[in-house]
């Protein structure tokens, strides 16, 4: 008998995503985004995002079913993001997913969005090894995970104590006068700069801080250092070497992310790293992780960029893994948990 067909639904932020997955095979993945509506505000407006999910829900679901060549009745289980995320956005997805599960009389799985960012890699690079380290980096999260079973055994080794990596990039983008969200713009600009031009701090990687927080991150000091540097140049009436700032800043972020991830591999005795989340689109992170992973004999798995940003495939992948591991379905009344750890 073939494996169950899982419908994955993602609405935790500004993307409305639907995907159909059978086992570890991705049949369709369709995403609508309301980012254009938020860009002019310089940040996500929660009410706008919630309404956009409501409007995009049915057309995006239909598009995903069409792309997979299946009908709603063919779905064997419904997986939906239960948290973390914007409570209004999560509520739209959860309410609709509950209705679908009820109407179809199928089990409902509320899943963790952050873990989904890692789970999606199974659809691309195949089954995970028995034990590995996951790094989730996005606009909202920077977490280092030790994984034995993606559905049942994920332990957080560390996380950011202040800004997420993507958030720090967005703030530096603003300092450099780039459009929102600044991450991809800073990345592009950094490719024309000298990454050794300015030595920016690597948060929590030296002295007592490093001992107390071996796998935690801190990017707010780095962001402040960039702000001070920009101010200093402006006060001196000099021209800002924006590409060098972008490159040196990117280097500092990638360096600390990769160093701590490889240190976690060493401590846990694992040979594989899986990186996910919107920030894993970052070119320097990809480069440095591959480079240093090769030196240490660690396999580095990063899904293609379209599966790094928020999408339904990550949720369907995790739902599918939960079914495989025999996890019980969620209660019918499962709430939105915007602060889910």
**Listed ranges 54-62, 67-75, 138-146, 265-273: which one lies at the site for ligand KG4 (CB under 6 A):** 138-146
- CB of residue 244 to Zn ion, shortest distance in Å: 30
Q: Which does 282 bind (CB under 5 to 8 A by kind): ligand KG4, Zn ion, none?
A: ligand KG4
Spatial distance between the Cα atoms of 183 and 77, rounded to a whole number of angstroms? 35
How many chain residues bind ligand KG4 (CB under 6 A)? 19
How is residue 326 annotated by DSSP? Answer: T
Q: Which does 307 bind (CB under 5 to 8 A by kind): ligand KG4, Zn ion, none?
A: none
Question: What is the chain's alpha carbon radius of gyration, rounded to the nearest angstrom?
Answer: 20
φ, ψ for residue 205 (rounded to 5)? Answer: -115, 10
Q: Which does 92 bind (CB under 5 to 8 A by kind): ligand KG4, Zn ion, none?
A: none
User: Is the separation of the CB atoms in 90 and 81 below 8 Å?
Assistant: yes
In the list 65, 310, 317, 329, the residue contacting Zn ion (rule: CB under 5 A) is 310
User: Is the separation of the CB atoms in 26 and 126 below 8 Å?
Assistant: no
- CB of residue 311 to ligand KG4, shortest distance in Å: 9
Please report, as residue ranges, which positions from 178 to 237 form the binding site for ligand KG4 (by CB under 6 A).
Answer: 181, 183-184, 187
Q: Which is nearer to ligand KG4, 168 or 273 (CB)?
A: 168
119 binds ligand KG4 (CB under 6 A): no
**Listed ranges 60-68, 99-107, 132-140, 230-238: which one lies at the site for ligand KG4 (CB under 6 A):** 132-140
Which DSSP string corresponds to 91-158? Answer: HHHHHHHHHHHHHHT--EEEEEHHHHHHHTHHHHH-SPPSSEEEEEESSS-EEEEEEEETTTEEEEEE
Q: Which residues carry a binding-site annotation for Fe cation?
A: 113, 117, 310
């Amino acid at each position: 008998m073939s494996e169950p067909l899982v419908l994955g639904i993602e609405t935790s932020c500004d993307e409305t995503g639907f995907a159909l997955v059978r086992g570890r095979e991705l049949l369709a993945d369709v995403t609508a985004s309301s980012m254009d509506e938020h860009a002019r505000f310089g940040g996500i407006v929660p009410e706008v995002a919630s309404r956009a999910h409501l409007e995009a829900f049915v057309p995006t679901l239909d598009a995903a079913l069409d792309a997979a060549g299946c009908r709603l009745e063919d779905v064997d289980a419904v997986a939906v993001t239960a948290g973390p995320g914007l409570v209004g956005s999560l509520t739209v997805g959860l309410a609709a997913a509950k209705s679908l599960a009820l109407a179809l009389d199928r089990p409902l799985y509320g899943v963790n969005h952050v873990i989904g960012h890692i789970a999606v890699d199974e659809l691309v690079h195949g089954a995970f090894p028995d034990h590995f380290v996951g790094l989730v980096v996005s606009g909202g999260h920077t977490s280092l995970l030790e994984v034995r079973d993606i559905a049942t055994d994920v332990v957080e080794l560390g996380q950011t104590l202040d800004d997420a990596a993507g958030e720090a990039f967005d703030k530096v983008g603003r300092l450099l006068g780039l459009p929102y969200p600044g991450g991809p713009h800073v990345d592009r600009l950094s490719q024309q700069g000298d990454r050794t031009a300015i030595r920016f701090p690597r948060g929590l990687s030296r002295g007592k801080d490093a001992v107390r927080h071996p796998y935690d991150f801190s990017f707010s000091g780095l962001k402040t250092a960039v702000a001070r540097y920009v101010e200093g140049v402006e006060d001196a009436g000099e021209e800002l070497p924006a590409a060098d700032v972008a490159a040196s800043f990117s280097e500092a972020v990638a360096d600390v992310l990769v160093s701590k991830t490889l240190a976690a591999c060493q401590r846990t005795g694992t040979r594989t790293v899986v990186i996910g989340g919107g920030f894993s689109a970052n070119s320097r992170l990809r480069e440095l992780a591959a480079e240093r992973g090769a030196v240490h004999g660690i396999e580095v798995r990063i899904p293609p960029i379209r599966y790094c940003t928020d999408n339904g495939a990550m949720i369907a992948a995790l739902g599918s893994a939960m079914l495989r591991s025999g996890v019980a379905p969620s209660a019918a009344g499962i709430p939105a948990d915007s602060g889910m750890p």
